[in-house]
Chain A
Amino acid sequence: MGKKFGPIMQMAFIVDSFEDSIEFWTRKMNVGPFVMLEGVELKDVYYKDSPADIDFSGAIAYTGSMQVELIKQYCDTPSIYNEYVNNEKGPLHHLAALTDDIENDIHILESQGYTNLQGGKTQDNGKFAYLHTKDKKDPIFELAQLSKSGLDFFDMMKDAAKNWDRKSAIIEAEVIL
């Protein structure tokens, strides 16, 4: 069986401050509105084979069918968001794709030289994993197998971008839910 994942649907950047970054993307790049996911609550999170508890928030906006995700980590716990990328801010951090069978895809990617670096589960048992080849020029790759409600949430954000007034840079998740 081949890999099941679909098109790249997210590009993610690590940021120091949501305020500056969201101002950049909304005012200059015309990408918005951003939906804030504060203190993302995950479970069974691991980093480099050990359980990890990472305090971070995300902000997501759509440009067409592509998500732009901004990630800010609040704690110093080692993760792929800080030490793994030499704390580099700004450059592309990872690309992501959705799949119906994450174990299958991880298995094949590992046979192609990828290491499963970090991952975990959402509260409704969606699964995600960040994988990377040893070669730093390849982007980190996130695979996600989301629940129906997780996928619906993405659709709502995509629609919010289509109908965006280009004024409200940030909208709360409740507004679109």
Chain B
Amino acid sequence: MEKQFGRMMQMAFVVDNFEEPIEFWTKKMNIGPFFKLEHLNVKDVYYMDKPTNLDFSVAIAYTGSMQIELVNQHCDTPSIYNEYVNNEKGPLHHLCTLTDNIENDIRILESQGYTNLQGGKTQDNGKFAYLDTKEREGPILEIAQLSEAGLGFFDVMREASKNWDKKTAIMDLGEVRL
């Protein structure tokens, strides 16, 4: 079977704080509004084959059909967000794509030289994994197999970017009218 994942739908950047990057993306790049997901409550998280517990928050906005994700890790636990990229902030951290069959895709990617570096599950059993090749040929690749609720959540954020007033930099999900 072929890899099942679709188009790249997210580009992600690791940041030190949310305030300055959100100001940059909304004011200068005209991208917003951002939705903050603070202290993400994920489960079964692993990094380099070992279970781990990472305290991090993300902020997500859409530009067209592409998500811009900002990731801010609050703890020093080793992860792909800090030591794996030599704590580099700013450059593209990873691209993300969605799939209906994450195990199939991980298996094929592993046969193509990828290592499954980190991953876990959402509370509603959505699955995600970060993979990279040893040669660092390109950006880290995240594959996610989300629940219907997770996918619906993305739709809400995308709609919000279409109707954005270019003033409100950060929105809560409750404020979005579909």
Residues on A close to B: CB < 8 A?
2-3, 5-9, 11, 13, 20-21, 24-25, 27-31, 63-66, 68, 90-92, 95, 109, 112-114, 133, 136-139, 141, 166
Number of B residues contacting the other chain (C-beta, 8 Å)? 35
Please measure, in the bound complex, the distance between the C-alpha atom of A90 and the C-alpha atom of B93, giving whole angstroms: 11
**CB of A45, distance to nearest CB on chain B (Å):** 25
In the assembled complex, which residues on chain B have CB atoms less than 8 Å from the CB atom of A137? Answer: 89-91
Please measure, in the bound complex, the distance between the C-alpha atom of A139 and the C-alpha atom of B91, giving whole angstroms: 7
The reply to whether B112 and A28 contact each other, CB–CB distance below 8 Å, is yes
Residues on B close to A: CB < 8 A?
2-3, 5-9, 11, 24, 27-31, 63-66, 68, 89-92, 95, 109, 112-114, 133, 136-139, 141, 166
In the assembled complex, which residues on chain A have CB atoms less than 8 Å from the CB atom of B30? Answer: 2-3, 5
The reply to whether A91 and B63 contact each other, CB–CB distance below 8 Å, is no
The reply to whether B5 and A64 contact each other, CB–CB distance below 8 Å, is no
The reply to whether B31 and A8 contact each other, CB–CB distance below 8 Å, is yes
Taking CB as reference atom, which chain A residue is nearest B108? A28
**CB of B1, distance to nearest CB on chain A (Å):** 13
Taking CB as reference atom, which chain B residue is nearest A2? B166
8 new A-B contacts, CB < 8 A, other than A8-B68, A21-B137, A64-B7, are A7-B63, A7-B66, A13-B138, A28-B109, A66-B7, A90-B137, A133-B28, A166-B2
Interface centre among B65, B137, B139 (most CB of A within 10 A): B137
Residue among B66, B133, B136 making CB contact with A8, cutoff 8 Å = B66
Residue among B7, B28, B66, B137 making CB contact with A24, cutoff 8 Å = B137
The reply to whether A11 and B138 contact each other, CB–CB distance below 8 Å, is no
Residue among B8, B24, B29, B89 making CB contact with A29, cutoff 8 Å = B8
In the assembled complex, which residues on chain B have CB atoms less than 8 Å from the CB atom of A133? Answer: 24, 28
5 A-B contact pairs sorted by A residue (CB < 8 Å): A27-B112, A28-B137, A64-B8, A65-B65, A66-B66
Please measure, in the bound complex, the distance between the C-alpha atom of A8 and the C-alpha atom of B9, giving whole angstroms: 12
The reply to whether A8 and B5 contact each other, CB–CB distance below 8 Å, is no
Taking CB as reference atom, which chain B residue is nearest A64? B7
The reply to whether B109 and A63 contact each other, CB–CB distance below 8 Å, is no
Please measure, in the bound complex, the distance between the C-alpha atom of A28 and the C-alpha atom of B109, giving whole angstroms: 7
The reply to whether A28 and B92 contact each other, CB–CB distance below 8 Å, is no
